[in-house]
Structure 1
């Protein structure tokens, strides 16, 4: 999924309001409103670059006349010492937007870099890496965009764009057959076209999912690779398959070797470390 301009604009407005408050008094106090300047984004750590589109949108939000000159693009390999872009705008724009641009780009580049590592390991296999909803509140839009930039695949964006019946849904509903039947009725009644995914904990759960004939994807949660193979033998392409739980960069190949369609890993977002970037006056 690409960045939605309306959602991005709303994020920028909210983030700037949080930071600026009653005013960027440091800048207002010592820089004339008419002053213009130029700055460059310096790369101080190797990795995968992410957030260029976001940076441009932030600066243009503050100054429609800003001249943003990209020297690299999202998804590019970046090396310490390189320059990602130059920006010419009012000095107020440069100083007020600096921290938000850096916060976004450093975090996004860290996620894209870690995601890229997973993607590279999975290259020889059918399996693709998925993100999850284990994201930072109000920053999900950019974290998931960073996953996409790093070569990963986005799972559902939120609770609204896919049905996922997890263990608690199943338990509260009284079982997989009941949960799926009610879900199908709900979707029909509300004229919703959403895929249904069900989390399973045992091979018996898998059989129940298949028996409904209504499950689009089966999540195989906390299965060992051997258990995963057994489940895939039962499923035989009748539904998409997703493995999750306890899967790391170190052991992911053993899971991919089973032939599972997807592996979901919250770690590609919440274990990512922000990379070092800086905006410097020219």
Structure 2
């Protein structure tokens, strides 16, 4: 994450902040703050605090990640060299606004199903290079991060299965070639494939793009066979705030939603320098 932030700053600065260097007196010390112009769940404030302090800006106050904020709240106050603060401004705001947006979306969906024994999870559908920041936002908001990267667990998806004869063959090959220390999840699209994968020891079976009626059919069949508890059941694809309760009510274990990261709205924050100085 530090290397990514370093790149973000370098990309933004280019060959130098010619505006600040032309307008702002060198060594000028100012007070400033980051203010919310929105409401939601705050995430990433500790990352921004560390960034400011690394550049010699003294952070005097900051809110805690995970708190609910509203318009007008002061999220952080600081004192330091004006040129350095202006150099950090856009990168810091971009990060904290996006992370807070992800946390807010995660919190919203997690609260929708809070009366059910089910976990809301994100996916790897994020923008390049900032996946770990999105995952942090998911965690702060109360959602599961799912996989951080490809080495976290075995997740057999449609394109893996396309290289085999069937989902079952892909699962058996994975079990043969994977350490006991790694969980194995497989994506299926039919009742028969779901049943076969549960019977053959998949740790997690993902019912991909199945409507509530089809998911219920799978759950009912697994219970009828007495194997429902053999695997965790995850649903994914086409799940929104309008239908999430339909899935949660079926007794699934995990509801994964790509929109938490690929479509969440960044919150609106502003950095302000005290003009009275």
In structure 2, the residue matched to 1:231 is 218
| From 77, 87, 108, the counterpart of 2:78 | 87
Cα separation, 1, equivalents of 2:120 and 2:2 = 28
Rounded Cα–Cα distance in structure 2 between residues aligned with 1:238 and 1:254:
23
Following superposition, the deviation at residue 115 of structure 1 comes to: 1.3
Q: 4+ residue stretches of structure 1 with deviation over 3 A?
A: none
Give the corresponding residue for 1:5: none
1:59 match? 52
When normalised by structure 1's length, the TM-score is 0.91
Alpha-carbon distance in structure 2 between the residues aligned to 1:257 and 1:251: 10
TM-score by length of 2: 0.92
- Whole-angstrom distance in 1 between the partners of 2:168 and 2:236: 22
Conserved 8 A contact 2:168-2:193: no
Instruction: Report what 2:171 is aligned to.
Output: 180
Query: Which one of 127, 130, 139 corresponds to residue 139 of structure 1?
Result: 130
The answer on 1:245 being equivalent to 2:237 is yes
Deviation string 1:124-182 (CA, Å, 9 cap, x unpaired) is 01111100011000111111111111111110012121111011211212212321222
TM-align CA RMSD? 1.5
Q: 2 CA distance for matches of 1:46 and 1:154? A: 23
Task: Count the aligned residue pairs.
Answer: 269
Q: Secondary structure at the match of 2:96?
A: helix
Aligned to 2:181: 193
Contact 2:121-2:254 within 8 A present in 1 as well: yes
Residues 77-226 of structure 1 mapped to structure 2, 5 A cutoff: 77-188=68-179, 193-213=181-201, 215-226=202-213
Q: Tell me which of 25, 42, 46 is aligned to 1:32.
A: 25
**1:234-262 alpha-carbon deviations (Å, 9 max, x no partner):** 14110111001111011100100011001
Question: Which stretches in structure 2 are left out of the alignment for 5+ residues?
Answer: none
